[in-house]
Amino acid sequence: MAHRLLQDFVLLLVAVNPALVVPEFVVVTAKFGAPVKRRIAIEAILIAGGVLLAFVAIGQVVLAGLNIELHAFQIAAGLILLLMSLRMVLEEAAHHESAHGRHPAVYPLAIPYLAGPKSIMTVLLLTDSDTYSLQNQLQIAGLVVLVLALTLGCLLGARWAHRLLRDTGVHIISRVMGLLLAALATQYILDALEQAFGFSR
Determine which of 28-32, 33-37, 75-79, 167-171 has the lowest per-residue pLDDT on average.
167-171
Q: Give the integer Cα–Cα distance in Å for 122 and 126.
A: 6
Q: What angle do CA 7, 11, 62 make, to 5 degrees?
A: 120
Percent of the chain predicted with pLDDT > 90:
29
**Mean local confidence (pLDDT), 78-98:** 68
Q: Which domain holds residue 144?
A: 2-197
Across 41-50, 97-106, 165-174, the highest mean pLDDT is recorded for: 41-50
**pLDDT tens digit string along 39-65?**
999 999 999 999 999 999 998 888 888
**Mean local confidence (pLDDT), 88-109:** 66
Work out the mean pLDDT of the chain and round it to a whole number.
84
Total domain count, the chain: 1
pLDDT at 160 over 70: yes
Burial class (CB in 10 A: 0-12, 13-18, 19+), 54: middle
Global pTM value: 0.78
Contact 21, 157 (CB under 8 A): no
